[in-house]
């Protein structure tokens, strides 16, 4: 049988139409699934986590509260916010969205960063938390209603950063003895002959080379911790001496009350130095978490020597 041109035309037109309808159907189905998933994520029931959570320590199969004589780390989920209480500082974040997958519930504070929570023992109110804010360190918490059921143990110098007098605002810190033992005045480096990074302390103020030829900042003391001769510092002002990299940083967001550096006076020639990074008040994240000292030191604990 001879097929005419017109029949060919009708045949191929039918095939094209069928393929087009099939593609549209798949696309529509895909869109429906995506919309359903997003809707589900926005309406996750997170009421089990809406309370205050207190940090506990895992020791083998047991969980304990380490008592250092001061209020420990905790966080609270309430309404549309997360309130994070740390020993050194407090932070708060608006919950951007919540995603639940299997046994893991993630509270996003922006498009990327999140608090991920899973139950260890729901009956005992114990959870595991991993947070981008804490560099994804695993921590364990107990809810408020089960707090009194957790055994307390006395903290050691390894666990605690202060003594039982930590929170007494009127404790004497400026007696002649303490003033001498607390003196960190001078210029400090990892190596007095080869070290490039440096910290110069004078009274309650300090200058720090965060990145050579790029970032030089001024610090001001915010708090002292008598039991370990510790001093916390915040950014004093927006720096003026900046390189091409440093000038691009969001300094207005870094200028806040959060601690960015901490020292422990070991003796009159030695300091332990801790750099936390700039705290971006807008994003709620630590940024620039390495200093020149981190790059120079081969150890996790940075030790500075007095060079002048």
178-234: pLDDT as tens digits: 333 467 999 999 999 888 899 999 999 999 999 888 899 999 999 888 777 889 999
CATH architecture classification, 181-306: Beta Barrel (2.40)
Q: Any bridge partners for residue 99, and if so which? A: 106
* Structural contact between residues 133 and 125, judged by C-beta atoms closer than 8 angstroms: no
Q: State the pairing for strand pair 278-280/52-59.
A: unpaired
Q: What is the per-residue pLDDT across 241-280, written as a single tens digit (0 to 9) for each?
A: 788 888 889 999 999 999 999 999 988 899 999 898 999 9
On the question of pLDDT at 177 being above 50, the answer is: no
What is the pLDDT at residue 206? 94
pLDDT of amino acid 135: 65
- Looking at the predicted structure, is the pLDDT value of residue 176 above 60? no
- 155 pLDDT band, cuts 50/70/90, is confident
- Tell me the whole-structure pTM to 2 decimals: 0.47
User: Boundaries of CATH 2.40.128 in the chain?
Assistant: 47-154, 181-306
Mean of pLDDT values over 165-176: 38
**CATH, range 47-154:** 2.40.128
The CA distance from 126 to 119, in Å, is 6
164 Cβ contact partners less than 8 Å away, ≥ 6 residues apart: 68, 69, 70
Helix (H, G, I), strand (E, B) or coil at 181: helix
When pLDDT is cut at 50, 70 and 90, the band that residue 169 belongs to is: very low
Distance in angstroms (rounded) separating the CA atoms of residues 199 and 209: 7
């Amino acid at each position: 049988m001879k097929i005419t041109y017109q029949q060919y035309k009708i045949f191929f037109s039918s095939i094209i139409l069928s393929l087009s309808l099939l593609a549209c159907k798949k696309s529509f189905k895909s869109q429906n699934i995506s919309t359903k998933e997003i809707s589900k994520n926005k309406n996750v029931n997170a009421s089990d986590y809406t309370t205050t959570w207190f940090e506990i320590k895992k020791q083998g199969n047991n969980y304990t509260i380490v008592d250092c004589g001061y209020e420990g780390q905790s966080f609270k989920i309430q309404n549309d916010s997360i309130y994070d209480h740390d020993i050194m500082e407090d932070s708060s974040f608006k919950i951007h969205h919540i995603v639940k997958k299997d046994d893991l519930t993630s509270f996003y504070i922006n498009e990327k960063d999140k608090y991920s929570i899973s139950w260890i023992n729901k009956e005992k109110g114990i959870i595991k938390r991993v947070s981008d804010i804490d560099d994804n360190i695993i921590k364990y918490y107990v809810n408020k209603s089960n707090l009194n059921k957790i055994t307390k143990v006395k903290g050691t110098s390894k666990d605690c950063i202060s003594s039982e007098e930590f929170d007494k605002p009127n404790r004497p810190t400026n007696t002649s003895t303490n003033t001498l033992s607390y003196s960190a005045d001078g210029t400090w480096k990892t190596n007095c002959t080869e070290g490039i990074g440096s910290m110069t302390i004078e009274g309650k103020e300090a200058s720090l080379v965060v990145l050579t030829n790029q970032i030089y900042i001024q610090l001001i003391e915010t708090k002292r911790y008598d039991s370990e001769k510790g001093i916390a510092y915040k950014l004093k002002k927006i720096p003026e001496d900046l390189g091409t990299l440093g000038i691009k940083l969001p300094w207005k967001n870094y200028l806040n009350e959060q601690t960015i550096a901490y020292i422990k006076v070991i003796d009159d020639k030695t300091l332990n130095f801790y750099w936390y990074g700039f705290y971006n008040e807008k994003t709620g994240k630590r940024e620039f978490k390495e200093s020149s000292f981190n790059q120079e030191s081969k150890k996790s604990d940075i030790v500075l020597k007095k060079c002048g």
